[in-house]
Structure 1
Amino acid sequence: MFRQLSKRPWLIAIAISLLLLLWLFSGGLFKAQDTATADAPAPEQGPVNVEVTWLEASPMQRQHVVQGQIEAWRRVELRAQVSATVNRLDQDKGSTVKQGQLLLSLSGDNRPAQVAKGEADVRQRAADASGAERLRQRNLVSTNELIRLQSELAKARAELDLARIQLGNTQITAPFAGVYDQRMVELGDFVQPGQSLLTLVDISQLKVSAQVAQQEVTQLKLGQPVRVELLDGREMQGELHFIAAAADPNSRSFRIEVKVDNPQALRLAGASATLHIQTGEALAHRLSPALLSLDKAGRHGVKWVNEQQQVVFTPVQLISVDNQGAWVSGLPHKVALITLGQGFVEPGQQVTSQLAKGDS
């Protein structure tokens, strides 16, 4: 057969032409079918089915939740006022002391002698001034002499007061009741004026400091109740007793302090805590945080179905969040919240809603 075709080349040309025609025809047919398929109308789709749950607003306590730092109510670092040697350690570190109780003693050196000398000088000057006053009444002493003697008496009394103060500064006493927290010196140390000796803290009450954003500080008032949650889950009750008058120039936030009674003298100063500040009652909806979504502007909100069975997106304000759910405000009083299918619908879309299982 191939020998016959080779002898007749015109037959080969005819066969090739037929194959080309078949190929072109089949391509056009497929293209026509594709065009027809593209131009065909899409089958109509019905409204999307979603599940909804009816939620009604209920009263709740609005609160701000901020992280705070627990501090002692009072803390003072006692320093040396005179040059002296540590003569006696009157109390141990960690002990509870009363106001005025002796904590540490410094050497008196020559200070008792200075006091005794001052007392003698005062007695002498007082006698001289008293005698001059009697003589002045009889015009036996001039007015200037009397004034000079009275001035010397005043000077002697001032020097005596200074000597007594210097002697008193060798006895380091507690300015208030508290805990002897730290000691920076040991027995026999020589100290100079201004040198730190010990610290005393008052933990009968505690203060918890925190920073509040400038847009939230206007909702706070002195005396508001505050719940203080410790890291181990324990809770204490306190009240807001200080709000800064000016914001921190760096953070633009306001410092607040919460006063907490600590009758058991729990050693909590320096620890962290969470402040739950009550700011009044408000109507809000409680829902799962998983139902919150973002719109194109990045606002938090939820999707719900109106009476016309259309999807509505409403931005909400997040009031508080915990392990049980989230409280939000901004929704209608009663709302059919989409609980299933919200990710497949858009605002304005027509839907068919049905109650979620368990709702009546």
Structure 2
Amino acid sequence: MFKKLAASPVIIAVILALALLLWLLSGDNYAAKTEPPGEQQVPEQTLALVEARWSEAEPYQLTRVAQGQVLPWRMVSIKSQQAGTVSQLFVSQGDKVEQGDKLLQLSDEGRSALLEQAKANLTLRQNELASAQALGKSQFVSETELTRLKSELAQAEAELERARLALQQIEPVAPFAGVIDRRHVEIGDVVQVGTELLQLVQIDKLKVTAQIPQQHVKALQQGQQVNLRLLDGRLLSGELSFISYAADTATRSFYIEVTVANPQRLRIAGGSATVEVLLPPVQAHLISPALLSLNSDGQLGVSLVNDQQQVEFYPVDILSADNEGARVSGLPERAQIITQGAGFVKPGDKVQVAGAKP
């Protein structure tokens, strides 16, 4: 009896504890069914901090530079077309001549007599043919005889032309207006066919030749302005007058010619010059080369911050680089360029610019 009474408070306590637990659980389940869950607190995200500066594009004069050679507009070596002795000289080195001016004279060597003989022979053949044709109407001369006389007349005409040409060639003339740059003979010199007599050059207009790499030739057009810098620092201006249609197989470069006016007849033909072909201006930004980077595709470019404060990567072309920096194209005309922190962000990331309001 005593044991039953002692155990009953323990049993009662256990029963009460179980009842309390069931009551608590039923209250949580009811609240979960009737009340929406509380809003979860998301930790505030911290934006990457970068430094940036605004850059404005400016017109930049593109050029293609090559080393060229200055040549006379025309140059010819006048050679003897007949054998003989130099009997007269009409010009000296440095003389200006006009087209058609006589330059020198060779000895006659009987050429005048041969010309007179050829004239007489031609007259004879003409008379013979005329007489034969008159007789041919009366059928006293055969067709074969008439054909022979016509052939002899044609031969006489050819001999006369050769005699005239031989006499003309002993007095060579200037093929164009220019300057006598060399004289290789003196009075009394005996020359043969092909002997060099004089060198004639035209330098009131010059021709500059150069080679342009194949990757640059697509930007060239005939008529573009060209600046020429001589070794002594003098500057000349010309016009791109020719671009070859096929590259040199050895160098893979294209031959170009530049026409340059030289009214003062400056003595620069034969020298070298730096050729700067002026291309149409483009909009370019001046930046530090340290701001250039490569994207995942290996493209060279610059990271910017757009109006939505997001990072954008723009591929660029380097137009020039010097002590001032690198001039690049491919960016918007007004761009906010990341100067610090570009290596810790990627395109699409939202960032905060130092000094700007978030």
Instruction: Give the alignment's TM-score, normalised by structure 1.
Output: 0.73
Is the contact made by 2:59 and 2:283 (CA closer than 8 Å) also made in structure 1? yes
Q: Residue 139 of structure 1: CA displacement? A: 2.5
Within 5 Å, which residues of 2 pair with 1:274-353?
Answer: 274-287=274-287, 306=305, 316-320=316-320, 327-337=327-337, 347-348=343-344
In structure 1, runs of 5+ residues without a counterpart are: 1-46, 356-360
1:102 partner SS: coil
In angstroms, what is the RMSD of aligned CA positions? Answer: 3.2
Is the contact made by 2:50 and 2:342 (CA closer than 8 Å) also made in structure 1? no
Q: Is the deviation greater in 329-338 or in 260-269?
A: 329-338
Within 5 Å, which residues of 2 pair with 1:72-221?
Answer: 72-221=72-221
Query: Which whole-Å CA distance do the structure 1 matches of 2:190 and 2:181 have between them?
Result: 21
In structure 2, runs of 5+ residues without a counterpart are: 1-47, 346-350
Distance 1:103 1:320, change over 3 A: farther
Is the contact made by 1:95 and 1:180 (CA closer than 8 Å) also made in structure 2? yes
Matched with 1:224 is 224
Asked which structure has the greater CA Rg, the reply is 2
Query: Which whole-Å CA distance do the structure 1 matches of 2:179 and 2:67 have between them?
Result: 26
Q: Residue 187 of structure 1: CA displacement? A: 2.5
One-letter amino acid of the structure 1 residue matched with residue 227 of structure 2: R
Query: Which whole-Å CA distance do the structure 2 matches of 1:106 and 1:292 have between them?
Result: 75
2:343 partner SS: coil
1:173 partner SS: coil
Query: Which whole-Å CA distance do the structure 2 matches of 1:91 and 1:294 have between them?
Result: 67
What is the count of residue pairs matched by the alignment?
302
1:133 partner SS: helix
Q: Is the deviation greater in 314-323 or in 251-260?
A: 314-323
Query: Which whole-Å CA distance do the structure 1 matches of 2:335 and 2:309 have between them?
Result: 12
2:82 partner SS: coil
Matched with 2:68 is 68
1:122-153 residue CA offsets vs partner (Å, 9 max, x unmatched): 11111111222222223232222222112111
1:12-34 residue CA offsets vs partner (Å, 9 max, x unmatched): xxxxxxxxxxxxxxxxxxxxxxx
Instruction: Among all aligned residue pairs of Structure 1 and Structure 2, give the percentage whose two residues are the same amino acid.
Output: 44
One-letter amino acid of the structure 1 residue matched with residue 279 of structure 2: T
1:179-232 residue CA offsets vs partner (Å, 9 max, x unmatched): 111122232222221222211111121111111111111222222222223333
Q: Is the deviation greater in 277-286 or in 317-326?
A: 317-326
Query: Which whole-Å CA distance do the structure 2 matches of 1:261 and 1:125 have between them?
Result: 55
Is the contact made by 1:179 and 1:201 (CA closer than 8 Å) also made in structure 2? yes
Matched with 2:244 is 244
Query: Which whole-Å CA distance do the structure 2 matches of 1:258 and 1:194 have between them?
Result: 32
Q: Residue 112 of structure 1: CA displacement? A: 1.3
Distance 1:73 1:325, change over 3 A: farther
Instruction: Give the alignment's TM-score, normalised by structure 2.
Output: 0.73
1:182 partner SS: strand
Distance 1:79 1:89, change over 3 A: same
Distance 1:102 1:284, change over 3 A: same
Distance 1:187 1:347, change over 3 A: farther
1:59-87 residue CA offsets vs partner (Å, 9 max, x unmatched): 33433122211111111111111221222
1:93 partner SS: coil
